[in-house]
Amino acid sequence: MTRPLADHPGMPPAAPLQMQIQDFATAPACRSDCHEKRATPWRIAVFIPALIATACLMYGMYSWLAGMGMTGLEWALLMMIGATFVWVTLSVSTVGVAIAGILAREAADARAPTDVAPIDVALLVPVYNEVPWDVFGNAAAMLDDLAARKTPHRYTLFILSDTRDEMIAAQEQQAFERLRKTAPYPVHYRRRASNTDKKVGNLVDWITGWGAAYEGMLVLDADSLMTGRAIDRLASELSIAPDTGLIQTFPMLIGAETLFARLQQFSNIAYGWLLAEGLALWSRSEGNYWGHNAIIRTRAFAESAGLPHLTSGGRDDLILSHDFVEAGLLRRAGWRVRFLPRVTGSFEETPGTLIDYTLRDRRWCRGNLQHLRLLATRGLHPVSRFHLFHGAVSYLLSPAWFLLLVIWALLGKDAETNVVRYFNEANPFFPDWPPAMSHIDSAVFLFIMYAMLLTPKFTAAAMIAATPAATRIFGGHGAFLTAFVTEVLLSVAYAPVMMIQQTKAVLRAIFTRSEPWAPQKRDAQHYPLITLAKFHWIETFLGLILTLGLAAGLISWWLLPIAASLLLAVPLSALSALNLAKRAPRSLAMNSPYTLREPAIVTRARSAREQIKAQLGINPPAE
């Protein structure tokens, strides 16, 4: 429904575009060839080795377990091992594909296209109770960086507010008035009366009100930051490819100051690029969408990606992790969905503490598990269906790992400490203790699993360490290797804690109807001890049980690292908030290229934020 212009004084004239709600039970006609044959060899190279490696492991485990006949529990254990291991091997084979692609000089997508026809692009920034000077400071920096380029395209910025806090809304309005007067491109601001359907509804409101005037829409998050070069590159790629519906960049993490944020930032920059290269090679035109830092063809999205509510059992649910679904629907209609990891200059921030990360993860978990209800959607490309399934499995793996941990603990370290009884028909009154899955077998399995989990990290790190120019941007060989070892050790320490928290998130998603929705905390803070204890009491309790079992000789000592991590969950969580940027020497600060040499766009954004704060009369807190 078109709204009168008077209702939106900060917006341009209406240009309504109908948003077509999709029917998941009926596949639409595909506008072009929905399958890309070039991707098949790369997909074979990813999935076949992973399946073979998993089959080999399962055969080896079966040989151990089948010594005295297989029981139901042993079959369940074997299936669970296979279900968890296959996803680990997929990461390894993705890295292998990336290396093969680099060596084969597969199309790099590194150069910007030429002979580009100009298009109109809307830069969309949906916000909900965010810090206004951060949002508008980033926006000002991006527009100024765009203006410094010779671009054929026409850009317009829209701040799409769903803010409920009246004081924040007033600050948004003030910041908008300032930016509109100084920006080199048109800037508009719209605040919805009610935040119906959250971010999905926010974007639909813009599309149905003004979307027809723009060929492309670049969707940004409140903490997104992109260089003018990156924005212009996406617009040009969309312009020259009429069959492309969406192009996703690989956002790099910035603004990391705490230990936990630097762990994520270092991992993102040091290892993430290699996995991204492999994903881009085998996904091809069936890429995914992460909800931000991506450009979308507006009409394609309106025609193909309108989301219905999920209704079943008397429930009416909004699709939460909408981005994965929208990418699948675009591809279902015949539009290419591309991933360009080599488009540099795409940035986002990350939670600063373990608690903040976990709170955000709960919302993602609920949305990703929802994807299981969408796997039967008619017409989806198999790769799009895999993306949906993988998103759900990434969270279901945590309870699977937890169940494996419980089984290992129950099996003990030998026959005498095994608390799981096995009976057979010939001897129903006395248990047969399984010779398999002893402490030695558990150690072998854990070694294989950890080796596979760490292979992508060691591979990427080895490639960087072997390249002098690459290590220099990390501060030299010594600083890079110190950061690498620190990241690996702390990631191993935090993994069991995250396993329990994600298991809790899965249970919350299954047994509760909703998850509180609040803006992500951008500024890390130290939580009080009582808050940490309440948040991590389950991990601490489980760690205590495992520790007592180890002390009594009832549990295999190979579980010691997991027991220690869980027992120390509270101090580990407190440690996650340590400000390395201020309190750690440079050699131990886990620096990465963006902490040692801040990108110009980040410096520009920080300056713009301070100017807006001054204009709003906001004084920084005393140190």
Is residue 61 predicted with pLDDT exceeding 90? no
Q: What is the pLDDT of residue 523?
A: 67
pTM: 0.91
| Mean pLDDT, the chain, whole residue set | 87
Is residue 556 predicted with pLDDT exceeding 70? yes
Is residue 219 predicted with pLDDT exceeding 50? yes
Q: What is the pLDDT of residue 450?
A: 75
Average pLDDT over residues 245-263: 95
Chain length of the chain: 623
Query: DSSP assignment of 346-362, as one string?
Result: EEE---SSHHHHHHHHH
Burial 106-133 (b: 16+ CB within 10 A, else e): eeebeeeeeebeebebbbbbbbbbbbbb
Phi (first) and psi of residue 503, to 5 degrees: -65, -45
95-125: pLDDT as tens digits: 888 888 777 665 555 566 778 899 999 999 9
In whole angstroms, what is the distance from residue 403 CA to residue 382 CA?
Answer: 30
Q: What is the pLDDT of residue 9?
A: 78
Is residue 524 predicted with pLDDT exceeding 70? no
576-606: pLDDT as tens digits: 999 988 877 777 788 999 999 999 999 999 9
Is residue 3 predicted with pLDDT exceeding 70? no
Q: What is the pLDDT of residue 356?
A: 94
Cβ atoms of 302 and 365 within 8 Å: the answer is no
- The total of other beta-carbon atoms located within 10 Å of residue 485's CB is 11
Cβ atoms of 556 and 231 within 8 Å: the answer is no
| pLDDT higher at 429 or 488 | 488
Q: What is the pLDDT of residue 138?
A: 97
| Of the candidates 284, 321, 323, 286, the residue with the CA atom closest to the CA atom of residue 305 | 323
Query: DSSP assignment of 156-209, as one string?
Result: EEEEEE----HHHHHHHHHHHHHHHHH-SS-EEEEE-SS-TTHHHHHHHHHHHH
Is residue 538 predicted with pLDDT exceeding 90? yes
Q: What is the pLDDT of residue 16?
A: 95
In whole angstroms, what is the distance from residue 243 CA to residue 65 CA?
Answer: 53
Is residue 68 predicted with pLDDT exceeding 90? no
Is residue 520 predicted with pLDDT exceeding 70? no
The span from the first CA to the last CA of the chain, in angstroms, equals 50
Q: What is the pLDDT of residue 73?
A: 67
User: Who's near 43: CB < 8 A, 6+ residues apart?
Assistant: 282, 383
Q: What is the pLDDT of residue 69?
A: 65
Phi (first) and psi of residue 161, to 5 degrees: -95, 130
Is residue 57 predicted with pLDDT exceeding 90? no
Q: What is the pLDDT of residue 254?
A: 94
Average pLDDT over residues 319-338: 95
User: Who's near 534: CB < 8 A, 6+ residues apart?
Assistant: none
375-386: pLDDT as tens digits: 999 999 999 999
Is residue 455 predicted with pLDDT exceeding 80? yes
Average pLDDT over residues 364-372: 94
Torsion, Cα 473 474 480 486, to 10 degrees, reads -160
Q: Which residues pair with 124 in a beta bridge?
A: 158, 219
Cβ atoms of 225 and 347 within 8 Å: the answer is yes
